[in-house]
Amino acid sequence: RLPVEEYREVLCIGLQELAAASREESCGEGSGVEILENKPYTDGPGGNGQYTHKVFHIGKHIPSWFRSILPKAALRVEEESWNAYPYTRTRYTCPFVEKFSIDIETYYKSDTGNQSDVFNMSAAEKRQTTIDPIDIVTDPIPPHEYKVEEDLRLFKSVKTQRGPLRDDWIEEYNNNPGKTPIMCAYKLCKVEFRYWGMQSKIERFIHDVMARAHRQAWCWQDEWYGLTIEDIRQLELETQLALARKMAQFRKINYGNRLTCSDCP
């Protein structure tokens, strides 16, 4: 139950939440994130917006079944993102894995997900598309991922007084439309992944990541509510510099270790 106009701050501040964890975890090639570019663009996807280019070192953050089929060098994913809110596009690629990409287009709408074709797909595209509804309250959470502070049935915002959410929260809104703000993220995910037998697992993985990200957006609202876009851009700059220092420190240490080892008899 977030208004569409507020969710722009969620998308921006999500980088800061990721970065806060990354500052602690960017201590090796198995984890962390580097922000290579963060700049405005014009006449791009969705019109005018903000472009970001990041590198994720994901060794600790992907399922073991996925990690097992990838070489160590492939545990690096590049993300390019175009944020022209309420439209965004994000593309993930892995430089060391042939024919692997995830391309996600998103429209944010003030409804409960009842629009049939916000992407204006062709008849052929519709036939190849599977609709996968995500309910951030009722979708099951793996036991090892459950956190009390991210339980939407328990969380209540101090700043906005929103929450907790009931299992029938969507039906409740549809019975009283306009009484409270609402937002649905329509996502069109295109996946290219040429590993036989892995398609269904990749689809499940994407579903789980999306559900977790939006649960966290709801539960972190007291962190971003009321921030201006200028506040957020300053936080982004501070985060980019902090992460760059952290990764540079690791590389210096790692390079020193390699030199020491090469001198060993």
The domain spans of the chain are: 4-252
Cβ pair 62, 68 in contact under 8 A: no
pLDDT-derived band at 99, boundaries 50, 70, 90 = confident
Instruction: Tell me which of 226 and 4 has the higher pLDDT.
Output: 226
Residue type, 103: D
Give the Cα separation of 94 and 79 in Å (integer): 9
pLDDT of residue 265: 40
Q: How far, CA to CA in Å, does 195 sit from each of 36, 68, 201, 258? A: 29, 12, 11, 34
For residue 183, count other CB atoms closer than 10 A to its CB.
Answer: 21
Q: What predicted TM-score, i.e. pTM, was given to this entire model?
A: 0.80
Give the Cα separation of 250 and 234 in Å (integer): 25
Cβ pair 75, 61 in contact under 8 A: no
- Architecture in CATH for domain 4-252: 2-Layer Sandwich (3.30)
Instruction: Tell me which of 96 and 179 has the higher pLDDT.
Output: 179
Token pair 């951030």: residue: 136
For residue 146, count other CB atoms closer than 10 A to its CB.
Answer: 10
